[in-house]
Amino acid sequence: MLLQNKNAIIYGAGGSLGGAVAKAFAAAGARVFLTGHRINSIQKVADEIIASGGSAETDIVDAMDEKAIKAHMEKVLQKAGAVDISFNAAGIKVLQNIPLVALAADDFVSPITLTMQTQFLTATAAGRVMMKQGAGVILSLTATPGGIGYPYTGGFAPACCALESFSTNLASELGAYGVRVVNIRSGGSPDSQVFKDAIANRPELMDVVIREMEGDTMLKKLPLMADIAHVAVFLASGMAAKITGVTIDVTSGTTAGLNYKVVPVIEK
């Protein structure tokens, strides 16, 4: 198992993607400490992990609260002795589908501020512990707008760019202590809860949206949550021991070039 005897803290573990990564970490042998705002959602993930033979514990932690993050970190250290992996998948509300010129300043700035607040607090808390350990991996998550111009994404796009820059800078400071920091850029997973809710509410519109998004990719397929989770497991493992300070793109090639003009043709 790639993460045997590793201890991982997941913030926002009750969300669909946070939960998927938590399950993947546990399946790879890690002892996972799940946190979130609502005990029911994170306990559901924990129960599934335990039922599958994994190890999972839950705690209510506000990933915007420095004292709460520190107290939980100390609790994990007392129980497990080390924090090997930190992954923040906490969701941030963002207003999209409005032109920037029509967007209120607060609606633009809020997701940038909140994204960086939670990511800074959890990453630096883990960094301080991992520096003393001489090892550890800090993971974060952004999306397609972090790597390419993407209209009508409001403050989400610059929040992604800010997080990717922060991840690189933190990696440059912590590398000398044996700590790796890597960001994952996703392309939007159609099996995530956000997409499922949108499909349930507006199925015809979302069918068009998803087909257009798939058309923009080089592989003509959007990454599923399992794809993101598998990459997270790899990056947290010793197999990625020399990968740090970068964003790993899992957008099926979207941020390398929009491929909507390329349609696969099979010659007979």
What per-residue confidence (pLDDT) applies to 194?
A: 85
Domain ranges of the chain: 7-188+224-251, 189-222
What per-residue confidence (pLDDT) applies to 54?
A: 97
CA distances from 109 to 74, 98, 104, 156 (A): 32, 14, 9, 9
What per-residue confidence (pLDDT) applies to 192?
A: 87
pLDDT band at 193 (very low <50, low <70, confident <90, very high): confident
What per-residue confidence (pLDDT) applies to 268?
A: 58
What per-residue confidence (pLDDT) applies to 88?
A: 98
Look up the pTM and report it.
0.94
Mean of the pLDDT values across residues 254-259?
Answer: 86
In 3D space, the residue among 72, 147, 87, 94 whose CA is nearest the CA of residue 118 turns out to be 87
Let me know: does 56 contact 27? Beta carbons within 8 Å. Answer: no
Mean of the pLDDT values across residues 94-117?
Answer: 96
- 6 vs 77: CA distance, rounded Å: 12
Mean of the pLDDT values across residues 169-198?
Answer: 94
Q: What is the pLDDT of residues 128-159, one digit of tens each?
A: 999 999 999 999 999 999 999 999 999 999 99
Q: What is the pLDDT of residues 14-37, one digit of tens each?
A: 999 999 999 999 999 999 999 999
Level-2 CATH architecture, domain 7-188+224-251:
3-Layer(aba) Sandwich (3.40)
* Of 63-72, 109-118, 185-194, 222-231, minimum mean pLDDT range: 185-194
Q: Which amino acid is at 197?
A: D
What per-residue confidence (pLDDT) applies to 188?
A: 85
* 254 DSSP assignment: G
What per-residue confidence (pLDDT) applies to 267?
A: 65
pLDDT at 249 over 80: yes
Mean of the pLDDT values across residues 180-201?
Answer: 91
Reduce the DSSP state of residue 250 to 3 states and report it. Answer: strand
Q: What is the pLDDT of residues 86-105, one digit of tens each?
A: 999 998 999 999 999 999 99
